[in-house]
């Protein structure tokens, strides 16, 4: 039996304001609240809300047979709470259906997994807490930023308890293999690896309304037939895309929402089923491990990190930022720690790409770089006031290790106290 795994990714950054050189040391607020509210409200009303309502209809019409996943960053959840609170209610309804898995994502949609393993762990844990507090859900599946994956990252995720990882089905990694199987990772043969079917996913994201596309016009019945026509032994088709596919990349007038709503009927008619990533990992048998020694993403032609770290501007910004990781981890300043979290957003590096700047208001990659570095200069001054650069990194690491061990010991003692109280 063929199984279909849908996942829709939701993330948008806080918009940075134009931050001039003379503001360094004078102004510690870096965000354009008006531009952020305007963009988030438009994005939610145009795409995210109608998509989630469509998913709820699909669940209801299929009598709970439609299952899917949502990858919602912690930052995105914050923005919903702040500017579009009705979105939280819709997400709670989806969580209550038990048909939607809310997978784990780095809180600020950062490259922490590539740049600093301790920061990666802190961000994913922060995301887990946020999702539990707001939506009451948990998951053992990891959707890393831009589907970032490598053998090393798989090992880190396994140590953190993540039994399932999602990544791109890139040809240079798969070679002759198909993405339409459940694989294991090199970190542990019990850790499942799901790989995106790029062709079938991108057909919806980028070609659905293109009259020059050889499959145009695409409808739900035709798409279900294409899924059913894949080799019988290929057990799992992973259809993952940015949620903005629905309403933004493919506007509502193209019929994209009607297409999606009708799809479960034709898929079920072909005796195919829908699974969440966790359900796929539990129900399907794993194939051989996939080897990925170098970072893999779903972005750009190379399916690597070149979109975000491919030029000198991006590398300088990243290196200077993460050089103070230990100092920030030791800080107690809440506003400093919040800026630390938000400024890691991968979109700010995307804006510095000379070829593809993504969705930006900056005139050029250099313009985006100068603006970010002015902000970073002010931020680093604030960090230096807390823990001066004269303190050696070895001393900071030792202090951080001591604090971490103390926190773990306190947590262990609190757990023991709870057990003893229950026995009474």
C-alpha to C-alpha distance for 358 and 349, rounded to whole angstroms: 10
All residues at 6 or more sequence positions from 392 whose CB lies less than 8 Å from its CB, including other chains: none
Q: Per residue of the chain (424 residues), what is the pLDDT tens digit?
A: 899 999 999 999 999 999 999 999 999 999 999 999 999 999 999 999 999 999 999 999 999 999 999 999 999 999 999 999 999 999 999 999 999 999 999 999 999 999 999 999 999 999 999 999 999 999 999 999 999 999 999 999 999 999 999 999 999 999 999 999 999 999 999 999 999 999 999 999 999 999 999 999 999 999 999 999 999 999 999 999 999 999 999 999 999 999 999 999 999 999 999 999 999 999 999 999 999 999 999 999 999 999 999 999 999 999 999 999 989 998 889 999 999 999 999 999 999 999 988 888 899 999 999 999 999 999 999 999 988 766 555 555 565 555 455 556 666 666 667 666 666 6
Q: If you ran DSSP here, which 8-state letter would residue 17 be given?
A: P
- Burial, 131: exposed, middle or buried (Cβ in 10 Å; 0-12, 13-18, 19+)? buried
Closest CA to 135 of 94, 178, 191, 189: 94
Pairing status of strand 68-72 against strand 100-102: parallel
Q: Which residue has the tokens 């998951």?
A: 139
Residue 280 CA to residue 308 CA, distance in Å, equals 31
Dig out the tokens for 329 from the structure: 């981890």
CA 117, 120, 125, 126 dihedral sign is positive
- The three-point CA angle 314-319-321 to 5° equals 95
Structure tokens at 291: 């080897």
- pTM, entire model: 0.91
Can you state the angle between helices 86-96 and 74-83, rounded to 10 degrees? 130
Report d(CA 274, CA 260) in Å as an integer. 13
State the Cα–Cα distance between residues 133 and 318, nearest whole angstrom: 31
Nearest one of 141, 225, 245, 236 to 182, comparing CA atoms:
236
Phi, psi (deg, nearest 5) at residue 234: -80, 110
H/E/C letters for each residue in 374-385?
HHHHHHHHHHHH
CA 134, distance to chain mean position in Å, is: 17
- Residues paired with 194 in a beta bridge: 166
Helix (H, G, I), strand (E, B) or coil at 148: coil
Q: How many CA atoms lie within 13 A of 247 on its CB side?
A: 17
Would you tell me the crossing angle of helices 198-207 and 220-228 to the nearest 10 degrees? 170
When the candidates are 3.20.110.20, 3.40.50.2300, 3.40.50.300, 3.30.930.10, the CATH number that belongs to 3-290 is 3.20.110.20
């Amino acid at each position: 039996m063929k199984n279909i795994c849908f996942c829709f990714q939701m993330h948008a950054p806080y918009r940075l304001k134009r931050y001039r050189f003379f503001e360094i040391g004078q102004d510690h607020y870096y965000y354009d609240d008006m531009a952020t509210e305007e963009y988030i409200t438009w994005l939610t009303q145009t795409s995210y809300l109608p998509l989630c309502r469509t998913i709820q209809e699909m669940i209801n019409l299929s009598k709970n047979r439609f299952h899917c996943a949502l990858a919602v960053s912690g930052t995105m959840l914050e923005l919903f709470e702040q500017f579009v609170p009705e979105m939280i209610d819709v997400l709670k309804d989806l969580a209550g259906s038990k048909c939607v898995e809310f997978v784990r994502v780095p809180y600020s949609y950062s490259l922490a997994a590539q740049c600093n393993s301790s920061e990666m762990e802190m961000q994913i844990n922060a995301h887990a807490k946020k999702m539990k507090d707001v939506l009451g859900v948990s998951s053992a599946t990891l959707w890393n930023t831009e589907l970032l994956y490598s053998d090393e990252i798989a090992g880190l995720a396994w140590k953190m308890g993540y039994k399932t990882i999602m990544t791109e089905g890139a040809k240079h990694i798969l070679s002759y293999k198909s993405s339409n199987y459940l694989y294991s990772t090199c970190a542990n043969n019990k850790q499942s690896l799901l790989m995106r079917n790029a062709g079938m996913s991108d057909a919806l994201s980028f070609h659905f309304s293109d009259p020059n596309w050889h499959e145009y016009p695409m409808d739900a019945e035709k798409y279900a037939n294409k899924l059913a026509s894949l080799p019988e032994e290929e057990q799992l088709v992973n259809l993952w895309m940015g949620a903005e596919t629905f309403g933004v990349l493919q506007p509502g007038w193209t019929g994209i929402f009607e297409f999606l709503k009708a799809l479960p009927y034709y898929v079920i008619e072909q005796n195919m089923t829908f699974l969440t990533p966790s359900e796929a990992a539990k129900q399907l048998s794993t194939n051989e491990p996939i080897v990925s020694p170098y970072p893999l993403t779903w972005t750009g032609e190379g399916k690597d990190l070149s979109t975000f770290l491919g030029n000198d501007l991006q590398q300088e910004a990243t290196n200077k930022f993460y050089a103070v990781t230990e100092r920030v981890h030791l800080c107690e300043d809440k506003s400093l720690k919040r800026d630390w979290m938000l400024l890691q957003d991968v979109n700010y590096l995307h804006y510095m790409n000379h070829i593809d700047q993504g969705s930006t208001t900056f005139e050029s990659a250099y313009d985006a770089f100068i603006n970010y570095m002015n902000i970073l200069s002010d931020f680093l001054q604030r960090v230096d006031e807390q823990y001066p650069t004269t303190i050696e990194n070895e001393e900071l690491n030792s202090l951080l290790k001591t604090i971490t061990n103390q926190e773990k010991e306190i947590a262990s003692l609190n757990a023991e106290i709870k057990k003893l109280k229950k026995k009474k």
